[in-house]
Amino acid sequence: MTEFFDAMGQIFTSESTYTIGALFAGFLAFAASGEWVAERAGTLNISVEGMLLSGAFTSAMGYHVTGSTIVAMFAGIAGGLIVASVQAEMSHRLTADQFVVGLTLNILVLGLAAFLDNELEPVTKHAAKWSIPLLKDIPLIGEALFGQRWPFYVLYILLPVTWWIVFRTRWGLEVRSVGENPQSADVSGIDVNKRRRQSIYYAGFTSGLGGWFLIFGQIGVFEDSVVGGRGFIAIAAVIFGGWTLRGTIAGCIVFAGALSFRLSVQGVGYEVNTELLQSLPFIVTLLGMAIFAHRVRPPAALAQPFVRGLK
Amino acid sequence: MTTTARRLGPRISEWLMFYVLSIMVALLLSAILVEATGGDWRPVMNALLDGSLRKPGRWGETLGTAAPMLLVALGTIVSGKAGLINIGQEGQLLVGAAFATYFSFLIGGPGPLNVVLLLIFGAIGGALWAGVAALLKFWRNVPEVLSTLLLVTVGGQLVAYGLSQSWILLAPLADRGNRNQVSEQLADNNRLPHLEIFGNQIPLAVVISIVLAVIVGLVLSRTVWGFRLRMLGRNPRAAQRSGVAQTTYGASALMISGAFAGLAGAAMLAGGGFAFGNYQLVPGFSANIGWAGLLVALVAREKALVAIPVAFIFAGLRTGSSFVGATGVESKITEVIQGFLVLALLIPPAVMFLRDRRRARAVATGTV
């Protein structure tokens, strides 16, 4: 047992734990922030997994063709938006079931990514590291928050902007209202399904960025398994956080801890069964939701389609 | 009144045209994709037909692949009717197969009896795994959409762990050569028999799944239990008021859907043969059959009998894909075709629904 605590101590005092953790949390936060907006508007958008993968692939292709990380970023956004457009138009214009569409999209994007990756074989490499002077010398977390590759810093813009849009603009107010009471929103002249579509597009935008970050800020190469179910963890983070942005980010950090724990444990040379370790983040996610999901109140119209005149 | 009724009623030719059009668009998109990546779609199409139907012994294989898909789809239909979205069949199937393996070696009864036990334990395993999601849903309010999904990964890892430990599933060293993570092989008399028709090997699971499809269809449409389940799906509040407890009926629907997935896993294990390996459990044994079965249920729009032909078509894409590799086009293209098809098939009913709504409103406001 002392061995165990020694290992734990080593893990929690090493800077690399926090650096890896921040990467995982950052990746989740990209996806979760957009997902949070979509859920506030009333869509439990499970195609976020597909958006991430699509964004990762198109950004890799963008880099492969032009050799520019910036172009790759826009390509990634476009990739996320393509998936978002199918999800949004099919579930909130055509009233197909949002889960059915999302699930099908996830499977389709996975097939497409595998197929196109084998046919086109994009070549990518990491973006440059930017260390922010002074701030990165903060012990333990300085390196993690201010010594990353530059795509990470996009998050510092994205998160406040997301908060500002949702809580300080008319559009944000309307988005929140269609998630709570679409009938009233409709009566007061808000196009409910339009707002919902737009919020899904926002999720596509952030997830596309997330896919781009995954390739250029974290992993460096594209494979069809790069996302590997973490989109679903991002959704869980939103639920874990009780549909607040702060809570969502906290959820990202908690789940990222579980994701990076595996690497950290192996880093200090402590032997734990790989299979059990790999399922740890998912178990932690399930437990996290089991503890918190019934204490929080979801948007009242979450996952309920809106058709005027039908209740 | 009569004219209104006729106007709102189903228009078969319109439906048919819509569906055919959507399928054409899906196939067209796939063909464009193949052409755009430097392939040729005609040989791909031929390979698909050869692999699924035309070459000797292939349609039997397609039927054998369709059987577990159909089983998974039936379970999905049961939970879907109750308004629950179970999308973790892939994990439930694998856990079911693991249960079946574990208990069949633990009990080791006489042949035919053991086959039945194996199937039952498979169903129990799947039901328990779905039961975790049901527990989380009705006790802790965790959406089943997410918990079933996350449990797929957890189930996969747990089974992989079980396969690495000799006290759980790993075969004794003598029986596995130098392979890691394989279970013992089922004995000859523990396997599901195959029927031989026109040189095609057809596992008994095909018969079982079709019989079950008819039973599920009847139970859902003709029994009180089925009616309550549908009521729960259509209007939970009304159902609750008239005495259908969401917890009991919802949880049982979810567990039944897991049981079907588990049964599919056990049937794959005991049916073995061509598509599903060598009567033994390995990591990744579920081979995406769970996902495919889920898609079958979605495309069949929750009708048990419609699921039979749909499962056959999807199984055909799968058995056909093994022939596609020879044409120089990545065989993953079949997954893309499958995805496009499903998406395309979602469109006609949604469009028709919207049109009906619009017409109904026009009639109600007297503008027609």
DSSP state, residue B170: B
Residue A51 has, within 13 A of its CA and on its CB side, a CA count of: 39
Query: Is B145 among the domain residues?
Result: yes
Q: Which of A276, A283, A290 sits opposite B136 (nearest CB)?
A: A290
Query: Is A307 among the domain residues?
Result: no
Angle subtended at Cα A282 by Cα A280 and Cα A288, rounded to the nearest 5 degrees: 100
Query: Is A309 among the domain residues?
Result: no
- Please tell me the predicted confidence (pLDDT) of residue A310: 67
- Please tell me the predicted confidence (pLDDT) of residue B334: 87
Reported confidence tier of residue A182, pLDDT bands at 50, 70, 90: very high
> B223: buried, middle or exposed (CB in 10 Å: 19+, 13-18, 0-12)?
exposed
- Please tell me the predicted confidence (pLDDT) of residue A134: 78
Q: How far apart are CA B133 and CA B149, in angstroms?
A: 9
- Please tell me the predicted confidence (pLDDT) of residue B141: 86
**What is the count of structural domains for chain A?**
1
Residues of chain B numbered 56-115 and touching chain A (CB < 8 Å): 85, 87
- Please tell me the predicted confidence (pLDDT) of residue A94: 87
Query: Is B59 among the domain residues?
Result: no
Chain B positions touching A279 (Cβ under 8 A) are 153-154, 156-158
Query: Is B323 among the domain residues?
Result: no
For residues B178 and A67, the model is more confident at: A67
- Please tell me the predicted confidence (pLDDT) of residue B2: 47
Query: Is A133 among the domain residues?
Result: yes
Query: Is B188 among the domain residues?
Result: yes
- Please tell me the predicted confidence (pLDDT) of residue A205: 97
Q: Which of A46, A229, A286 sits opposite B136 (nearest CB)?
A: A286
Contacts of A225 (CB under 8 A, 6+ apart): none
Segment A239-257 shows an average pLDDT of 92
For residues A294 and A198, the model is more confident at: A198
For residues A71 and A308, the model is more confident at: A71
The verdict on a CB contact (< 8 Å) between A293 and B164 is no
To the nearest whole Å, the CA of A136 is away from the closest chain B CA by: 36
Q: What is the CA radius of gyration of chain A?
A: 20
- Please tell me the predicted confidence (pLDDT) of residue B9: 54
Chain B positions touching A115 (Cβ under 8 A) are 33, 37, 330, 332-333, 335-336
Query: Is B58 among the domain residues?
Result: no
Residue B69, H or E segment: helix B58-81
Give the domain range for residue B107.
66-304
CA of B262: how far to CAs of B97, B100, B303, in Å?
6, 9, 20
Each residue of A4-17: pLDDT tens digit? 777 777 777 777 88
Query: Is B356 among the domain residues?
Result: no
Which alpha helices (DSSP H) does chain A contain, by range?
2-13, 15-40, 48-66, 69-92, 98-120, 142-146, 154-168, 170-180, 182-187, 192-213, 230-240, 245-267, 274-292
CATH assignment of the domain containing A279:
1.10.3470
Each residue of A251-304: pLDDT tens digit? 999 999 888 887 777 766 666 777 788 888 889 889 988 888 888 888 998 888
- Please tell me the predicted confidence (pLDDT) of residue A269: 65
Query: Is A12 among the domain residues?
Result: yes
The verdict on a CB contact (< 8 Å) between A309 and B361 is yes
Angle subtended at Cα B130 by Cα A229 and Cα B74, rounded to the nearest 5 degrees: 100
Q: How many C-beta neighbours within 10 Å does residue A246 have?
A: 11
- Please tell me the predicted confidence (pLDDT) of residue A311: 56
**Is the pLDDT confidence value at A119 over 50?**
yes
How does DSSP assign A18-85, residue by residue?
HHHHHHHHHHHHHHHHHHHHHHHTT---TTHHHHHHHHHHHHHHHHHHH--HHHHHHHHHHHHHHHHH
Token pair for residue B258?
A: 């897991």
**Is the pLDDT confidence value at A127 over 60?**
yes
- Whose tokens are 């333990």? That residue is A140
Q: Rounded to two decimals, what is the model's pTM?
A: 0.90
Low-confidence ranges of chain B (pLDDT < 70): 1-10, 109, 178, 273-275, 367-368
**What is the count of structural domains for chain B?**
1
Query: Is A306 among the domain residues?
Result: no
Segment A177-201 shows an average pLDDT of 95
Q: How far apart are CA A223 and CA B231, in angstroms?
A: 45
Query: Is A281 among the domain residues?
Result: yes
The verdict on a CB contact (< 8 Å) between B342 and A118 is no
The verdict on a CB contact (< 8 Å) between B164 and A239 is no
The verdict on a CB contact (< 8 Å) between B357 and A307 is yes
Residues of chain B numbered 132-151 and touching chain A (CB < 8 Å): 136, 140-143, 145-147, 149-151
Query: Is B329 among the domain residues?
Result: no
**Poorest-pLDDT segment among A46-60, A141-155, B17-31, B351-365:** B351-365
Give the domain range for residue A82.
2-292
- Whose tokens are 């079982």? That residue is B208
